[in-house]
Amino acid sequence: MILPIGPVHPSLKEPLRLKLKTRGEKVLSAEIDYGYIHRGIERVMQGKTWQKGIFLSERVCGICSYIHTQTFAETFEKIAGEHAPIRAQYLRVLTNELDRIQSHLLANSTYFKAMEHETLFMYMLALREPVMDAIELLTGNRVNMGWNVVGGVKMDVKQVHMDSIMAIMVKLESEYGRYVEMFEQGPLVGLRSKDVGKMTRDEAIKARAVGPIGRASGLEHDIRQIHHTYRDNFDWKVVWRDEGDNFARTMNRFDEIWESISLIKQVINNLPPGDVRKKIDIPAGTAEWRNEAPRGEVTYSIETNGNLIKNISIRTPSIMNIDACAKYMLNDVATVADAVATYATSDPCIACTERVTILDESGKYLDFHGVHNIKSKLKG
Amino acid sequence: MLDGLKDIIRKSSIHVCLVNTGGCNGCDIEVVALLSPRYDLEQYGIYVHNNPREADVILVTGAMAEQWRDKLQRIYAKTPEPKVVVTIGNCPLTGDVFNQEGCSVYAPVSDFIPVDAEVSGCPPRPTEILAALLAVGPDAIAARGRQKL
C-alpha cells in the first residue's frame, strides 16, 4: 500500500509530498515529490546588480539565510580576486556560527517533535531564543539579516555588543551539556533513535550526502577545512561519527554546537581592529565558491559582466540530503512513525531545494520525484 | 446560554493550520519560535496542528507558487466553518522580492481566498504574529459560530 504524506500534514512543517510504500506498519521504500514552493529565484536574479541579488539570495532559505549572502558576496570577491578585510572575515565567522547554532537547535527540536518527545522539543526552543537575541543584537534582525555586502559587512560592532554575545555564549555553554546528556543517556529516546534509518558510508557517497547527515555516516568532509578564514585563523576540528543512524545525526548536530561556541569565543577574544568594508571593483568573469551551511555544502556559481549578474546557479545541501533520506534511510524502517522521525532527522529545508520545476509541452506541471527516482514506476 | 458557553469554549481552543505557499521559510520558523517557552502560544489555547480539516485558523505564508493556485482554495474549502485566514509576512501581501520579472509567483493571496488579517514584515516578529492571531482569532471565530447556528 502507498501512504501519501503531505503537502500539508501535521508531521510536516513545509510542503512536500512523501509517498511511503508500506506493508502493514513496515515501510519498504519511499519517494518524494518536490515543486510546491518553486519561486524562480535564479531567473529573477539574472540581469540584476549584486546589490539587488544579495537580498534575493538571502531569501533562498529562511533558516540558513546568512550563509547564502556570505557565499554570494564571496563569489563576487573571488571574481574580483580580493578578500574582505580581516575584521569583516571574523565577523562573518561570528554570524555564521551563531546561525549554525540556531539552525542545529531548530533541527534537533524538529526531530524531538517528530519522535514525540515534547520536553526536549521545548528545551531546544528555549535554548534557541537567547541565540536569536544574539543574532538580533549583532545584525539588527532575527531571520533575514541583510548583513553581508560584497567587500565586507554592513556595520561595525561595538565592544558592548561583543560582551553581551559573550555572556549569552557562556550561559549557553554552562546549561547546554545537561540537555545533550538527557538525549545521550536517555534509554527511551535511545531506543527510538539508535539503529533507525541507517545509512552506511558507501550509500552516503552514492547519494552525495553532505553536512551533518554525511558526517554522521562517516564522511569526514567539512568545507570549512579549506575556507581561508577558518583554515588560517581558528583552532577547531571536524565533528563526525560513523554509526549513520538517527542517533548519530542528532548527536553530530549537538557536538557541532560545542565547536561553534568555541569558534565564537575565539572570534570575540581575538577580534582584530580595522575596517569592516572596502570598495571592490568587479570585473567581468565567472567564479564558483563553496561554503559550509548548517545543512552542508552550498555552492554558488556566478557569471557577471562587471555590473549585472548574467547567470547564476545555486546548489543547496538539502536536495542531496532529502534524496539520500528517500533512497537509503527510508528502506525497511520498522514503523511509519519511525519513518517520519527519520525524515525529520535529515533536516529537510524545502525552500532551499526548489530550484526547478518540470513542465510538459503544454505547460502543465509534472511531478518531480528527485534525482534518484526519476525513472521510478511507483505512482501514488 | 448555549451560545455563550460555545463562545467561551471556542475562544480558548483554536487550532491552527500553517500553509507555506512558496516563501523562504523565515515566517514558518517564526511561527515555530512562537511555540517556544518564551512566547508560549499554547497558553492562549492556540495549538499549531497543520491539519486543515480540524483547523479554525489558516496561517498563510509565502507568495503563491504555481502549484498552490488550485490547492490553496481546496485547503480553504476543506477547513470547517467558522474559519479565519491570517497571512504572515510581505510575500502573501505583495510577493516581496520574488514578485519581479521572470518569477513564478502569483501574489497576493487575497486574490485566491478571503483574508481576515495581514501581518507585514520580512519576517514579522513572533510577538506581531501572536498579536494578530489574538486580535482576529477568538472573537471572530466565536461571532461567526453564532451567525452560522
pLDDT, tens digit, for every residue of B27-36? 988 998 999 9
Compute the average pLDDT of residues B103-131: 89
Residue A148 and residue A69 in contact, taking contact as beta carbons nearer than 8 Å: yes
Cell numbers at residue A205, please? 557517497
The domain ranges of chain B are 15-138
In whole angstroms, give the CA distance from residue B71 to residue A37. Answer: 12
Would the CB atoms of B29 and A40 count as touching at under 8 Å? no
Residue-wise pLDDT tens digits, A285-323: 999 999 999 988 999 999 999 889 998 988 888 888 888
Q: For residue B141, is pLDDT > 90?
A: no
In a domain, A26, yes or no: no
Which residue does chain A place closest to B63, by CA atoms?
A39
Q: A36 contacts in B (CB within 8 Å)?
A: 20, 22, 65, 67-68
pTM of structure: 0.92
Q: What is the phi/psi pair of residue B56, to 5°?
A: -105, -35
Cα Rg for chain B, rounded, in angstroms? 15
* Locus of grid cell 516563501: B23
Q: Which of A293, A240, A241, A239 is nearest to A262 (CA)?
A: A239
Residue A54 and residue A149 in contact, taking contact as beta carbons nearer than 8 Å: yes
In a domain, A217, yes or no: yes
Which residue does chain A place closest to B47, by CA atoms?
A10
Residue A37 and residue A29 in contact, taking contact as beta carbons nearer than 8 Å: no
A-B Cβ pairs (cutoff 8 Å, strict): 136
Residue A300 and residue A71 in contact, taking contact as beta carbons nearer than 8 Å: yes
Would the CB atoms of A59 and B24 count as touching at under 8 Å? yes
Q: How far is B29 from chain A (nearest CA, A)?
A: 7
Which residue ranges of chain A lie beneath pLDDT 50? 377-380
In whole angstroms, give the CA distance from residue A61 to residue A315. Answer: 12
Residue range of the domain that includes A292: 37-330
**pLDDT score at A265:** 93
* Interface predicted TM-score of the whole assembly (ipTM), two decimals: 0.90
**Given A39, A110, A142, which is nearest B63 (Cβ)?**
A39
Would the CB atoms of B36 and A350 count as touching at under 8 Å? no
CA atoms within 13 Å, Cβ hemisphere of A95: 32
Would the CB atoms of B67 and A10 count as touching at under 8 Å? no
Give the helix ranges, DSSP H, for A186-278. 187-193, 201-206, 211-216, 228-233, 246-269
**Given B51, B102, B123, which is nearest A144 (Cβ)?**
B123
Would the CB atoms of A62 and B28 count as touching at under 8 Å? yes
Q: Which of A358, A340, A235 is nearest to A6 (CA)?
A: A340
Would the CB atoms of A13 and B28 count as touching at under 8 Å? yes
Q: For residue B9, is pLDDT > 90?
A: no
Q: For position A172, which CATH number holds?
A: 1.10.645.10
Would the CB atoms of A60 and B24 count as touching at under 8 Å? yes
Cell numbers at residue A161, please? 555588543
Q: How far is B2 from chain A (nearest CA, A)?
A: 31
**pLDDT score at A358:** 65
In a domain, A167, yes or no: yes
**CATH architecture entry for B15-138:** 3-Layer(aba) Sandwich (3.40)
Residues sharing a CB contact under 8 Å with residue A178, sequence separation 6 or more, in sequence order: none
β-strand A148-149 against A152-153: which pairing, if any?
Answer: antiparallel
**pLDDT score at A378:** 46
Q: A41 contacts in B (CB within 8 Å)?
A: 98
Cα A76 to chain centroid distance, Å, stands at: 22
Cell numbers at residue B20, please? 507555506
Residues sharing a CB contact under 8 Å with residue B30, sequence separation 6 or more, in sequence order: A142, A143, B88, B123, B124, B125, B126, B129
**Given A38, A126, A143, which is nearest B65 (Cβ)?**
A38
The structural domain count of chain A equals 1
What is the pLDDT of chain B when averaged over all its residues? 85
Q: For residue B51, is pLDDT > 90?
A: no
